Structure 1
């Protein structure tokens, strides 16, 4: 397509970012709707807490397992077609939830949802890496990731009301229809930088000179190299990356508590009414959004001020993970306001740490952004399997205190991982015939 001619750079990248923001919000609606419906579903299907834990983890089994293939698919196919396909198909699966009659069919549908959402975050990272220069990338990541919190903060009360008046079936119908419609909107409006009619050469130059990767040459040849096991081996062999992987598992542990067991915690353990719990549940999500945006803009500001990449990117994540430990404070009060305060502070910290996706852009070879993002997201999303199941066992006696201690301990482990394993970030050359570069840590 012919691009706009002007000496002043256009700002088309922000329009593309807005589209990704909505994608993220919808994807998290379809991840958390099962958490909102969990209490009613558990009663209707006669599920124990342990069985419910496995249901809540089912999404994660497929989602985590398919992150590496999802990353490879994101590198091979364009975001426009692939994201539209994923949005429409996982929304159809969401609609199919109304047909469940037992644990087997429900588990299968959650697996299918995780399967179809698997490429989403590698695609998000590819879009941001293509459309944004290095010094704007943490802010861009923070803005699109905030979609999961802003969407859930404002829609949690609505989801609770829908469930009260339309049942859990109405909940899945509503969230499924929203995604189905938006998949079509995404296909109609998204374009890569070189294909967009709204971007001019000045903006393309600004993005490319700042490190944006939209002009990848010899893509066909490069794609053939993606499937080599040596590439995966390199991505798993870095001490720095292992520090980031462990940290991401800890960040996602807090996130998945809020996405799965949090509504049940408020209703069954804190004995709050369902609609009231829906309104109170929005507060931690707003706090997480605030932490995420603060961290992203602060991190980019430090980079622009000339601070080291290691300090500018790692410090907000470490502080955030340490703050997430405060979730344990909710065990020591029966005051609802204080409970929400401790949970909100912990989720604020978890939100700060979610700019960790910026390390994918920093550490990825140019041709392996999707693969690196897939491995990173696979390791982090193991928490989506482990956390719901472990909590299911911990709370089977009706006491959530051990579950909050478990989440707090993981936050502390994540902070230690960034402090002691993730050192100074430096780019090194991997001995490989493809001459691809990979970033690792050299002490």
Structure 2
């Protein structure tokens, strides 16, 4: 009787689940970006050229991007609780092992492994938000969990710099790996899907479902034939609107991956800043990106609640953000450290605004292919994690970083044009294989 009364009370369990995802994202990006903090020391200790360092920076992206489509299919097939725990533990082991590498080949291989095991993470994040949140809270919830990558890096980059100063780059990798291992166990203990959570109320479930939350689908691992078809892959590659957001996501990630890889090295090697000081200055653009992301997410949801068209409410912040990201080129025209950080922060603020683009996966993809569409979306966007670090390495090989910043800014302009000219009316694609309301792999 008491349990039944408890389930009728108003609960806010979905925010607890979102907090768990937030921490996942913080750890996810610590293990992506620790290489950027270690980059200058690694380059010196292993005698790496800028081109070789570019390949090391890009190694994560090779497997991460190429496995996005399989990762999306896996996210549709298996539940988030077990799959995310497996991913957290395995990529953390790969991170820890990077503290024992002796040369280019072993480090490159372990970065490939880290990318491979992180591949399903964002498709899983998107499925969790799609299950736990109504559509009118979707952009703000995405903004909150994605902000973990910026909040975590903003406050923890100085910590990582000091850890490396005290324990070397080897200690940096070992420490971040141990943190991920411990969190993987915590995730498994506390996360549950909506229908499996012991304390969620019927009132909250009704609120989520009536708002468009999708959690009453088939159980993981049952009747998956509809997902594992080439016709489904073809569908998510054949829509002009989806291609518009794919290109836009590549542009957004281009700026992101500059900051996740080359930015600390740019400050130390190409701008001559002290290593410890660079760690504190590097946190400023991450805070700016977080502010842009949260502003964009909450403004976008507010516009939807005010009755503005979904097309305008979702697209406008992204277009404005991509146009702002072009300001990174301004750093080429000053030697003043404060102005350099200002232009970097403004560009990353814009990139942060554009990162609510994940909301398009929730509202454009066929309801039975949310994981697959998320995988393709993340694959296309994370091609930037392969291309951008390598291209920057070649552009900066003669000691001049200006062409690299022009390259990043130009991609921001291309992304804005993609949203303006390719992304049309926002509406969900429907498949014949899945009736309205049935979601495979929830």
Query: TM-score, structure 1 length as denominator?
Result: 0.96
Write the distance in 1 (CA, Å) between the matches of 2:223 and 2:323.
40
Deviation at 1:358, TM superposition (A): 0.1
Write the distance in 2 (CA, Å) between the matches of 1:70 and 1:164.
36
Q: Cα–Cα, structure 1 residues 222 and 135, in superposed 2: closer, same or farther, change >3 Å?
A: farther
- Equivalent position of 1:423 in the other structure: 424
* Residue 296 in structure 1 maps to residue 292 in structure 2: no
Q: SS of the residue aligned with 1:366?
A: coil
Q: Which runs of 5+ in 1 are unaligned?
A: 439-443
Q: Deviations over 1:91-145 (max 9, x none)?
A: 1111101221111111100000000000000000010000000000000000000
- Equivalent position of 2:118 in the other structure: 117
Deviation at 1:69, TM superposition (A): 0.4
Write the distance in 2 (CA, Å) between the matches of 1:42 and 1:198.
51
Deviation at 1:76, TM superposition (A): 0.7
Deviation at 1:164, TM superposition (A): 1.2
- Equivalent position of 1:50 in the other structure: 51
Write the distance in 2 (CA, Å) between the matches of 1:46 and 1:174.
24
Q: SS of the residue aligned with 1:286?
A: helix
- Equivalent position of 1:441 in the other structure: none
Is the contact made by 2:365 and 2:429 (CA closer than 8 Å) also made in structure 1? no
Alignment of structure 1 residues 283-322 onto 2, 5 Å:
283-322=284-323
Write the distance in 1 (CA, Å) between the matches of 2:258 and 2:4.
45
Deviation at 1:218, TM superposition (A): 7.3
Deviation at 1:219, TM superposition (A): 6.3
RMSD across aligned C-alpha pairs, in angstroms? 1.5
- Equivalent position of 2:398 in the other structure: 397
Larger mean CA deviation between 218-227 and 55-64 belongs to 218-227
Q: SS of the residue aligned with 1:173?
A: helix
Is the contact made by 1:257 and 1:388 (CA closer than 8 Å) also made in structure 2? yes
Write the distance in 2 (CA, Å) between the matches of 1:286 and 1:212.
30
Is the contact made by 1:4 and 1:197 (CA closer than 8 Å) also made in structure 2? no
Is the contact made by 2:366 and 2:428 (CA closer than 8 Å) also made in structure 1? no
- Equivalent position of 1:407 in the other structure: 408
Q: Cα–Cα, structure 1 residues 34 and 218, in superposed 2: closer, same or farther, change >3 Å?
A: closer
- Equivalent position of 1:131 in the other structure: 132
Q: SS of the residue aligned with 2:6?
A: coil
* Residue 374 in structure 1 maps to residue 375 in structure 2: yes
Write the distance in 2 (CA, Å) between the matches of 1:119 and 1:98.
24
Deviation at 1:9, TM superposition (A): 2.6
- Equivalent position of 1:101 in the other structure: 102
* Residue 260 in structure 1 maps to residue 255 in structure 2: no
Q: Which runs of 5+ in 2 are unaligned?
A: none
Q: Cα–Cα, structure 1 residues 221 and 197, in superposed 2: closer, same or farther, change >3 Å?
A: closer
Is the contact made by 2:30 and 2:176 (CA closer than 8 Å) also made in structure 1? yes
Q: Cα–Cα, structure 1 residues 190 and 105, in superposed 2: closer, same or farther, change >3 Å?
A: same
Deviation at 1:3, TM superposition (A): 7.0
Larger mean CA deviation between 63-72 and 91-100 belongs to 91-100
Q: Deviations over 1:205-225 (max 9, x none)?
A: 000000000101476665111
Write the distance in 2 (CA, Å) between the matches of 1:99 and 1:175.
13
Write the distance in 2 (CA, Å) between the matches of 1:404 and 1:4.
59
Q: SS of the residue aligned with 2:368?
A: helix
Write the distance in 2 (CA, Å) between the matches of 1:81 and 1:382.
27
- Equivalent position of 1:211 in the other structure: 212
Q: SS of the residue aligned with 1:211?
A: coil
Is the contact made by 2:363 and 2:427 (CA closer than 8 Å) also made in structure 1? no
Write the distance in 2 (CA, Å) between the matches of 1:426 and 1:360.
11
Q: SS of the residue aligned with 1:397?
A: coil
Write the distance in 1 (CA, Å) between the matches of 2:62 and 2:339.
34
Query: TM-score, structure 2 length as denominator?
Result: 0.96
